[in-house]
Amino acid sequence: MKGWKKDLIALAVVAFLIALLCVGTKFQSVDDYYLTHIDDITPESETVFLSIECKTVLNNYDDLDEALKEEKYVPKDGVILPRTEYVLRNGDTVFDILDRAVRYNKIQMEYRGASENAYGSAYIRGINFLYEFSCGPLSGWTYRVNGEFPNYGCSKYRLSDGDVVEWLYTCDLGRDLDMDMYESVR
Partner 1 sequence: MKAFDNFHPVAPFLYFAAVIFVTMFTTHPILLGVSFACAVFTCGMITGAKKTLKSLLYALPVMIVIALTNPLFSHNGVTILFYLNGNPVTKEAVLYGVDISVMITSVFYWFKSYHAVMSGDKFVCLFGSVAPKLALLLSMTLGFLPKLKRKYREIDDAQKALGIYSRKGYLDKIRSKIRVLGILVTCGLESSVETADSMRARGYGLKGRTSYSVFRFTFADAAFVFFTVALTAVICFLAYKGAADFRFYPTVKEINFGLESAALYLSALLLSAAGIFCEIKENTVWRLLKSKI
By the rule CB under 8 A, 126 interacts with partner 1 = yes
Local structure of 146: helix, strand or coil: coil
By the rule CB under 8 A, 19 interacts with partner 1 = yes
Q: Please, what is the minimum distance in Å from the beta carbon of residue 100 to partner 1?
A: 12
By the rule CB under 8 A, 15 interacts with partner 1 = yes
Q: Please, what is the minimum distance in Å from the beta carbon of residue 183 to partner 1?
A: 33
Phi-psi region of 173 (alpha: psi -120 to 50; beta: other; left: phi over 0): left
By the rule CB under 8 A, 167 interacts with partner 1 = no
Q: Please, what is the minimum distance in Å from the beta carbon of residue 124 to partner 1?
A: 12
CB within 8 Å of 164: residues ≥ 6 apart: 48, 49, 83, 145, 146, 147
By the rule CB under 8 A, 117 interacts with partner 1 = no
By the rule CB under 8 A, 66 interacts with partner 1 = yes
Residue 42 main-chain phi, psi, to 5 deg: -115, 165
By the rule CB under 8 A, 147 interacts with partner 1 = no
Q: Which of 160, 41, 158, 174 is nearest to 94 (CA)?
A: 158
- Among the listed ranges 14-22, 74-82, 146-154, 165-173, the one in contact with partner 1 (CB under 8 A) is 14-22
By the rule CB under 8 A, 41 interacts with partner 1 = no
- CB 108 within 8 Å of CB 126: yes
Q: Which residues pair with 124 in a beta bridge?
A: 111
Through-space distance between the first and last CA atoms of the chain, rounded to whole angstroms: 59
Cα distance between residue 5 and residue 52, in whole Å: 50
Contact footprint for partner 1 (CB under 8 A): 5-6, 8-9, 12-13, 15-16, 19-20, 23-30, 32-33, 65-68, 73, 99, 108, 110, 126, 129, 131
